[in-house]
Each structure stands twice: as C-alpha cells, then as structure tokens.
Amino acid sequence: MTHCAPARPDRLADLIERFDVAITPVADAPANLVILGDDNGPRSVLFLQKPQAFPSAQFAARVDWGTVENPLETGLPVRIEMPIETPDLMGLAVALKWEAEAHRCGSASVLRRLAEVMIVRLLRFQFDTGCDQIGVLAGLTDLRLSRAIVAMHNRPGHGWTSGDLAVEAGLSPSRFSELFSQKVGQSPMAYLRQWRLTVARQDLQQGQRVDAVSRRYGYASSEAFSRAFRQKYGVPPLAIRGRVGVAPGA
C-alpha cells in the first residue's frame, strides 16, 4: 500500500489571487522587473522595490502590487536577482524578450501573463534561498510559520487564537510568537487582524453587505467590525461599499 505525504500548503495562492497585480511592459522608462543578458541570451532576472532605468535590458516592466495593503508590497527585499540556470526559466525569459521585440497583435496581453509567471518564479526563488527582509515573505519562507500564515490566509474568519496558530506551526506558543514577530514584524494576532480587514475591505468594495462581511471574518457584531474598520481606514464600512478601486484611507 502506498502512503502519500501530505501536500504542502500553497504559500502564494491567496497573495496572488486576492490582489490585482498589474504588470506593464515598458521601454526606455524606469522599471522594477527586468531581464538582463548579453549577445548569448538572458542571464538573470532582477526585481527592485524602486524602479530604475535599464537601457540595455532585454525585457523591462513596472510591477504594481494592486494596493499598499498587499503584504508583498512591503514584504519583498529591496533587490532580488535570480540567475537563469534552468531550461524552463531560460525559455520563459526568451519568450518575454521575443514578445517584447516582436510587437505582434495581442503581445501586451501575452507579456503580462508571462511576466506574472516570472514574478511567481522570483517568489519561489526567495523561498529557496531565504529572505532577510522583515515581512510576510520572510514568514512564508519559514516552513513552520508558513503553515500558520497560510491557515490565516485561507480561513480568516476562523476563531484563531495565538495558541491555535502555534499548533499549526508545530511550535510552543512562546516560541511561535517570538519567531513570528521576528520574521514578520508584528504579532500573529496583529497580522490576523490586518488580514481580516484587508479582505473585508475587498468584499465591501464588491458591494457585499456590512453585516455579512462582519460575520464572515469573525467579528462579534457589525458594530465591532465598524469600529475596527474606522480605526484602520478612517471611514465607516458603508463609505467604501461598492466603490471598487478606492484607495485605502480614501
């Protein structure tokens, strides 16, 4: 009888699917996702928090994480450089370079989708090599903490306690809280409260009812949710209900 190992939780799914990451190919303009190389082809992929000009880049794009509330907005290192060492990564880089140069019909859509794949590869690269930048990516890089973070991402409305999350991570409560704060930069419960309000805001912008959203994310009442929401955003939930695209704090 064959026993299958339990599947590792997907550390990126909620962060990729919850936010509308916009990737815009650019030419002769500052970029923060670039492919560098020489006459022999692509050699490395570079991501920067602050866009810069790369006149000799084989491909260049601006990456917008959708909202400042996307944990990846502040959780990524200032610079990531990933060498192109495998045939599949080389094929992806060559496809981006070719599409950028060909200017064929539909190339903008193709470039965006290929660039999204490249972003995922960059994030996987960080998981493999480690992340020193304090934030959610550093937490997700730690396989123990990642189980607790993914649990929060997947089930934000669950009645989590710090002890419950420590069990998810397989750590003692004290060690879990210490390590989480060290890696992510805030306590587990503070991160959970922030994540709940972030996803609640998204639901409200899609027009969902305040009482339904408050119940979904574990608040004792609509009033308790409204107080927490106003404290974070400066406006009541009804002020942004159905207003897709309104920036946080607006």
Q: E-strand spans in the chain?
A: 22-25, 31-38, 41-52, 59-64, 79-83
**Exposure b/e, 121-150, CB count within 10 A at least 16 = b:** bbbebbbeeebebbbbbbbbbbebbbbbbb
The Cα–Cα gap between 80 and 231 comes to 35
Q: At what angle do helices 188-205 and 222-233 cross, to 10 degrees?
A: 100
pLDDT reported for residue 149: 97
The Cα–Cα gap between 174 and 156 comes to 22
On whether the CB atoms of residues 148 and 165 are closer than 8 A, the answer is yes
Instruction: Report CA-CA distances (Å) from 94 to 59, 82, 91, 115.
Output: 9, 15, 5, 12
- The DSSP annotation for 30-77 comes to -EEEEEEEETTEEEEEEEEEEEE--TT-SEEEEEE-SSTTSHHHHHS-
pLDDT reported for residue 215: 95
The Cα–Cα gap between 154 and 164 comes to 15
DSSP 3-state of 4: coil
Successive 10-residue mean pLDDT values, the chain, 250 residues: 55 85 86 92 93 91 83 86 95 92 85 90 92 90 95 95 97 98 96 95 93 94 95 93 64
For the chain, where do the domains classified as CATH 1.10.10.60 start and end? 142-239
What is the pTM (predicted TM-score) of this model? Answer: 0.86
What fold characterizes domain 142-239? Arc Repressor Mutant, subunit A (1.10.10)
pLDDT reported for residue 2: 44
